[in-house]
Amino acid sequence: MESERYTQALDAIYQGFADVDGIPTALESIRNLIGAEGATFEVIDPAVRRPVMFHSSGVASAEGDDYLAHFAPRNPRLPVALRQQRGELSWDYQVMDESAMTRDPFYMDFLPRAGLRYFLSVVLDRSPQRLVAFTLQRSPRRGHVDRSEIALMRRLTPHLQRAYGMRGSMAAAHGDGVGTKVLDLLKDGVALLDPKGEVVHANPSLQAIAIETGLFRIDARGIHFGASDLRSRYARAFGAVIGRDGLTLADEAIDFLAPRPGGLPPCTISLRALRHGWPRSDAPEAVVMMLVHDPLQESAATHLLQDLHGLTRAEAQLACALSTGMTAVEYAAHRGVKVTTVYTHLKRTREKTGWRSVAELTRRVHEISIRLRED
């Protein structure tokens, strides 16, 4: 259960920071995971000690406005954050003890109005011009954070930093209101479809998956699966999402597997209703998004494994492949290499990561993978 909640939080972090208005959803997921009444994301101008960007979850809008208007410069936690490096955490007893809190206006005048007292914070980024911080806000009843909660925040920190960095990169490349161009950055295949199933937009990854797997082909009239059973599954899934009246059903999300021969792991096909249509004028007729995940495509997890554990590209690719359920023998046959070579890579992967089994490897890879959310 805890592992599932952690994975859901990761999903929310990456999706939330990629969405123009999605940050509060990401904050809510993290505060539910670690345990907090509120969560805030701030970009602060160090010169004036005030936020220039502020998002919150679980904090009443009136309290947020009061904080921004009067208490932000008087926050005793801020001087500590301004001295911290990127990725450093802080919490109350690093700032002051209980006795000092009772003499501090921020702790005695402002926080009680919101029913809050304690915090756990991390600096996601910093420069002379800005400080980017994520903070969990806790009630007196919930109490001061403990070691396990601090450890969990440390575990989440690299993901928060990457998600924030991705948001900045996409905004720099395409503006804050990213359209179909952002889909072209994804490793997973994505198609936007109109009510008839005709293709409005297909990203390059989808084209590549179609060619490499041979499972389907793409033209302006739609997505065409080769096998009759897959054609039937796709038709049923699209019909379930669209509904009989031709309108998308807001809560519908259909997933099915597309098997491949030779013991290779299947692709996952997911259809999602776009609840309010595509949010940009570059594809106004799009009402359904189809996503295709090929577990053998090099993913973001491959690069993260290289960065986090110093794996070679071959070792990281093996780890990702084994996490899909492939055996070492199947992977060797797919790559056209000797089985002994695969076992050598697996041994080195275990030495570098400390993971003791394929089951642990699978769990860890899933933790850092960006997965689709159903809601």
Which of 240, 269, 293 is a domain's end point?
Answer: 293
Three-class secondary structure of residue 372 per DSSP: coil
Asked if residue 158 and residue 29 are part of one domain, the reply reads yes
Q: What is the span of the domain harbouring residue 306?
A: 302-368
Assess whether 113 and 218 both reside in one domain: no
Say which range, 46-60, 262-276, 298-312, has the weakest mean pLDDT. Answer: 298-312
| 75 and 89 within one domain | yes
On whether residue 375 sits in a domain, the answer given is no
Same-domain check for residues 164 and 307: no
Lowest mean pLDDT among 168-177, 235-244, 277-286, 347-356: 168-177
Residue 82 lies in a domain: yes
Residue 164 domain-assigned (yes or no): yes
Place of tokens 């904080």: 67
Share of the chain above pLDDT 70, in %: 80
170 and 184, same structural domain? no
Last residue of a domain, one of 174, 195, 228: 174
Q: How many CA atoms lie within 13 A of 246 on its CB side?
A: 4
Please compute the mean of the pLDDT values over residues 14-24 and round it to a whole number: 75
pLDDT of residue 229: 92
Beta-strand runs (E) in the chain = 38-45, 50-57, 89-91, 118-127, 130-138, 189-193, 199-202, 216-219, 222-225, 253-258, 267-273, 288-293
Judge if 27 and 130 occupy the same domain. Answer: yes
What local confidence, expressed as pLDDT, does residue 370 receive? 45
- Are residue 19 and residue 131 in the same domain, yes or no? yes
Compute the Cα dihedral for 84, 88, 90, 94 and give only its sign.
negative
Residues 241 and 337 in one domain: no
- Residue 44 near residue 61 (C-beta atoms within 8 A): no
pLDDT score for 166? 73
124 in Cβ contact with 132 (< 8 Å): yes
102 found inside a domain = yes
Say if residues 222 and 193 touch (Cβ distance below 8 Å). yes
Ranking 10-14, 40-44, 184-188, 308-312 by mean pLDDT, the lowest is: 184-188
Dihedrals phi, psi of 172, to nearest 5 degrees: -65, -35
pLDDT exceeds 70 at position 44: yes
On the question of pLDDT at 232 being above 80, the answer is yes
Is pLDDT above 80 for 119?
A: yes
Residue 128: predicted pLDDT: 85
Judged by average pLDDT, the poorest of 30-39, 216-225, 257-266, 338-347 is 257-266
In this model, does residue 251 exceed pLDDT 70? no
* Alpha carbons within 13 A on the beta-carbon side of 283: 26
CA distance 321 to 295: 7
Chain segment 67-116, per-residue pLDDT in tens: 766 777 788 998 899 899 999 999 999 889 999 999 998 899 888 888 89
Does 164 share its domain with 185?
Answer: no
* Cα 326-330-333 angle, rounded to 5 deg: 145
List the single range of 138-152, 207-221, 329-343 with lowest mean pLDDT: 329-343
Do the domain assignments include residue 123?
yes
Q: Please name the residues in contact with 193: beta carbons below 8 A apart, sequence gap of 6 or more.
A: 199, 200, 222, 223, 238, 286, 287, 288, 289, 290
- Half-sphere exposure (Cβ direction) of 17: Cα atoms closer than 13 Å: 23
CB 311 within 8 A of CB 305: yes
Total domains, the chain = 3
Query: Taking 50 as the threshold, does the pLDDT of residue 9 lie above it?
Result: yes
| Pairwise pLDDT comparison (274 vs 2), residue with the higher score | 274
Whichever domain contains 242, its CATH number is 3.30.450.20
Q: How close are the terminal C-alpha atoms of the chain, in Å?
A: 18
- Residue 1's pLDDT is what? 52
Interatomic CA distance for residues 357 and 4, integer angstroms? 20
Please give the Cα distance from 181 to 226 (Å, whole number). 28
Would the pLDDT of 274 be above 80?
A: no
Instruction: Tell me the pLDDT band of 7, cut-offs 50, 70 and 90.
Output: confident
What pLDDT, on the 0 to 100 scale, is given for residue 283? 61
Instruction: Tell me: do 33 and 130 sit in the same domain.
Output: yes
Quick one: which H or E segment has residue 282? none
Mean pLDDT of 331-336: 78
Residues 34 and 164 in one domain: yes
Single pTM value for the model: 0.51
Q: Which two tokens stand for residue 178?
A: 């990213």
Instruction: Name the phi and psi angles at 193, rounded to 5.
Output: -120, 145
What CATH number has the domain bearing residue 10?
3.30.450.40
The predicted model gives 283-309 an average pLDDT of 75
Average pLDDT over residues 159-182: 66
Average pLDDT over the chain, rounded to an integer: 80
> Does 245 have pLDDT greater than 60?
no
Same domain, 133 and 274: no
Q: Could you tell me the pLDDT band of residue 300, with boundaries at 50, 70 and 90?
A: low
Alpha carbon distance 271, 238 (integer Å): 7
Residue 374 placed within a domain:
no
In three-state secondary structure terms, 186 is: coil
- Radius of gyration of the chain measured on its C-alpha atoms: 23
Instruction: Select from 155, 174, 193 the last residue of a domain.
Output: 174
